[in-house]
Structure 1
Amino acid sequence: MAEKPPWGRYNQLLPTQLAAIRAAIPVIYLPWGSLMWHGPHLPFGLDTLVIEAMAERAVQRTGGVLLPTMNWASDGIPHPDNVTFNPTTLNLVLDDLLAQLAATGWRVIVLLNGHYGYSHDQFMMEAAQRALHQHQVLVLAITPLTMVDEAMLDHGGLWGTSLLLALRPDLVDLETLGNQPLQPETSGVVGRDPRYTAAATLGTSALNLAVERIVVAVQDLVKRNDPAQLIALYEQRHERYQAFLARYGSDPAEVTARWWAALTQGE
């Protein structure tokens, strides 16, 4: 039986333990969630709970260190109880963090994004690219479900609900959605209706597939130590956004609001 690679949680490691893991496997994970409204049936920390679970499972397989999760998004569907920050602020924070991690010897940094939104995804990609060029560190910034099937990137719908049913069913209350046709502005659901199709088994399958994709990508980065694959990845993702930007504009402060208005008001 193969020996399990060393791993630990940054905030629970002694200095000697942290140094030993870094020397053996210089891989560090940063899960990034949000405090965001996903409808009356799901908690504000949905993105955080899901991405933490993916990160924990992945780091145990690849080895490395798991940083505490960041909860701050740069955009989101409008709701007064969302906690968001200006993308410029988050860029400064992430730039500083990546510089520190590179300076202390981490060679692969894995930014796992649990909140799928254009400006949020964009700022993470841009920070990853800057770190790659400025610090020669490999930064994989990815929304894990995109590596499985982008159709899973719903909002409060079948897949998000199923993932939480697999992880924390006590935090899901589908009865709050009632039995009338769902409207995005009141239900928070963008995607397939979760009321009659969401299931823990679906969530477990999605979780396992996402973790497998993360593990393969990280192990490949460690083995090849080649920035070219990251450069190509980010170029492809920027290209996929072009139709979205042509319709809604590229201003990070406005693009999500314009998309939401078009969705809910038929603009």
Structure 2
Amino acid sequence: MSFPESPEVRYQMLRPAQIVARREACPAAYIPLGNVEWHGVQNPLGADTLQAEGIAIRAAQKGGGLVMPPLWYFAPDHEMTGYIERGRDAIAREMHLPPENFMLTNDPAQVRTANERYQQMLVDMLLLAETLGFSVGILVAGHYPLIAHAIAAVIQFATLRSHDPARTRRPGLDLIPWACCEPVLRYQLENLAHVGDHGGYWETSNVMAMYPQTVDLAALGPAGEPQVGIGGSRPPHEANAADGRQHIEACADLMIREVKVRIEHPDWFRHAAFTMAQGKWKQDAV
């Protein structure tokens, strides 16, 4: 990783005393979410999860807290980026797989079951963060569609806690959940409408900033020609690590502000109706 490797903030890489010290200084747990999915011939298939983890690492390094092990998987049979669906045949050829493997299901029961299973897993991860002594749990969605599931899990968790009689018996059961996603967060807080893409300039720049050894721009077809399974306002040929670092730092800074206000004013966000409120740190009272 090209970002600073120190301080180490990944939960699984630290000894107990190191975890306690960081948690007591800033009781925030970042939980990266993503998948393994085509992001162009130039990018690793784990690009979404790598971005979520990288942004979380920078937020924890700069603002405190710890980064939990990422959750990589989500049921692919009913939810994938439209660029992949449209480029199904070409992607299948590149992956030496039959195109049928990339067809979306239209079975409502299967979709509902997959959604419920995934959202419950996210709730369980928030419960684990709470058990481990954190006051704020942040679901960081690298694959953009996962923000909907992350928000659903946040609302479920907040509702569970507000109606849980055990909370009055165990004061430690008071984690504030929150979910974020780079393009959504920057649009809502900075009014930036052209953040993010699918394997284009934006995401390729991000991955280059984090894991430059995994990106090969030379693998791309000629500039100006259609690229398989890629979408965005700028082509991946324009990607560069410097811009990626700026993207990541800007998003991490916003996340730090949101986490700080939740640690300092947990009662503002405890009710399920307000737990996803963002930008309260902009108010003069904060």
Q: Is the 8 A contact 2:202 2:236 kept in 1?
A: no
Confirm whether residue 141 of structure 1 aligns to residue 179 of structure 2. yes
Q: TM-score, normalised by structure 1?
A: 0.73
Q: 1:138 and 1:33 mapped to 2: Cα distance?
A: 22
Cα contact 1:36–1:44 (8 A) shared by 2: yes
Distance 1:93 1:45 in 2: 20
Indicate yes or no: 2:150 matched with 1:124: yes
For 2:182 and 2:234, locate their aligned partners in 1 and report how far apart those are by CA, in whole Å: 22
In the alignment, structure 1 residue 204 sits paired with structure 2 residue 208? no
Deviates more, 1:168-177 or 1:87-96: 168-177
**Which residue of structure 1 lines up, in the alignment, with residue 219 of structure 2?**
176
Q: How well do the aligned residues superpose, as a CA RMSD in angstroms?
A: 3.0
Change beyond 3 A, Cα 1:73–1:150: farther
**3-state SS of the aligned residue for 2:179?**
strand
d(CA) in 2 for partners of 1:96 and 1:228?
18
**CA shift at 1:228, angstroms?**
6.5
Equivalent residue number for residue 76 of structure 1: 80
Aligned to 1:151: 194
| 8 Å contact kept, 1:140–1:230 | no
Percent identical among aligned pairs is: 28
1:197–1:14 Cα change, 3 Å: closer
1:22 and 1:106 in contact (8 A); partners too: yes
The partner residue of 1:113 within 136, 141, 145 is: 141
> By how many angstroms is 1:182 displaced?
4.2
What is the CA–CA distance in structure 1 between the aligned matches of 2:17 and 2:149, rounded to whole Å? 33
Measure the CA separation in 2 of the matches of 1:18 and 1:205: 28
Displacement of 1:52 in angstroms is 1.5
TM-score in terms of structure 2 length: 0.69
2:123 corresponds in structure 1 to 95
Distance (whole Å) between structure 2 residues aligned to residue 60 and residue 11 of structure 1: 15
Runs of 5+ consecutive residues of structure 1 not aligned to the other structure: 1-5, 237-267
Q: How many positions carry a matched residue from both structures?
A: 227
Q: Which amino acid aligns with 1:96?
A: D
Structure 2, unaligned stretches of length 5 or more? 1-6, 96-100, 105-110, 162-173, 187-191, 279-286
